[in-house]
Amino acid sequence: MLEKNSKLKKKTTKKIVMKAPAVLRADCFRVLDENNRPNEKVEPKLSKEMLIRMYRNMMATRLFDERGMLLQRQGRIGFYVPSFGQEAIQIGTAAALKNSDWIFPSYREPGVFLSRGAGLFEMLCNLWGNQSDVCKGRQMPVHYSFSDLKLFSVSSPIATQVIQAVGASLASKIRNEKDIAITYFGDGGTSENDFHTGLTFAGAMKTPTVFICTNNGFAISVPTQKQTGAQRMVDKAIGYGMPGIAVDGNDVLAVYSATQEAADRARRGEGPTLIECVTLRMGPHSSSDDPTRYRDAQVFEAWAKRDPIQRFRQYLERKKLWDEKKQEDLEKELKATLAEAVEKAEKEPPPQLDTLFEDVYAELTPQLVRQKEDLLAEQELRGKFENTSEAFPL
């Protein structure tokens, strides 16, 4: 499946995103055709339980995104970053990993967190930045962190997670472990120095790293063809001495297969792989963005017909694994669970003032002890501190 450096295909399309109806590049590996029927020669042999779990996680991701955007529009949280249309990439990659593997996500992978077992309540608390937030209100919204699940903290600077993943995977190699590291970034991330540094190091050291480039057409509002002279992001693998493959990012089975092969390759000690997942960002860059100002409506409609959840659902229905009743039951269950978690998280108070001094040093320095005492004394005089900050600006 993977293309070796000397055999990477040279035929490419003139543009990253083509006009409807042929929106998917011809070079992309796929399992499902445009009628959502599988190519049995490359169809992964997954159990019924695994297939349904993947579909469930895709639905949970979509509903979590919808609720996050709704909460922001209602003014109950300040900011949200949705991943509409990219569920197959998140769930397909996560399903191919072991629980011992390290994950270094970007800010558009809530489904990866949900798949790994992160709690809805804890993720929602991050959106409010309340006292039950793992980061105690110090992180931006949608910047989750679950070290116990080997889910590294999301950060805002673009592509910083790439070099961190390479470092973690090198540590695994030095220890003679079989754990790998996977990292996610967008097409815009490939223009960053951290991308170049990370892939250069990974290629030279043959680290067990899987690089997931989600090519969703835009870096905020800048189209892919204005970001780089490369017609395929996967071609960037050549210069770093690693194989690469472009896949249909709206085909969860194709994403799973490509990731599984790359992970197996890494565990065998054969080094890193770059996977380009070709899709379209169906929602805004964030809750502050209006994609209709820069996105081609025809292309959007064509990609909308390739909704990854609907495609996978049709696949399951043909296998007699899914039907309308199961769909209704699943949506009812997931929405009820989400509503309960939202209600609980929204009631949580803000972090206690004295937590401002925690998690800096193992023990407070004399200077911090004095500062803490002074702040608490001022709080006692004032009665309380009012939150005068405005809604998140991005």
Angle between helices 48-73 and 308-318 (to 10 degrees): 150
- For CA atoms 61, 65, 70, 72, give the dihedral sign: positive
* Cα separation, 114 vs 254, whole angstroms: 20
How many residues are there in the chain? 394
* Cα separation, 245 vs 233, whole angstroms: 9
Residue 196 a catalytic site member: no
* Cα separation, 94 vs 103, whole angstroms: 9
Residue 285 a catalytic site member: yes
Of residues 281, 295, 306, 313, which has the active-site annotation?
Answer: 281
Q: Residue 61: what residue type?
A: T
What are the angstrom distances between the C-alpha of 224 and each of 141, 191, 233, 279?
Answer: 26, 10, 9, 12
Residue 294 a catalytic site member: yes
Of residues 285, 295, 306, 311, which has the active-site annotation?
Answer: 285
Of residues 73, 76, 138, 294, which has the active-site annotation?
Answer: 294
Catalytic residue positions, numbered: 281, 285, 294
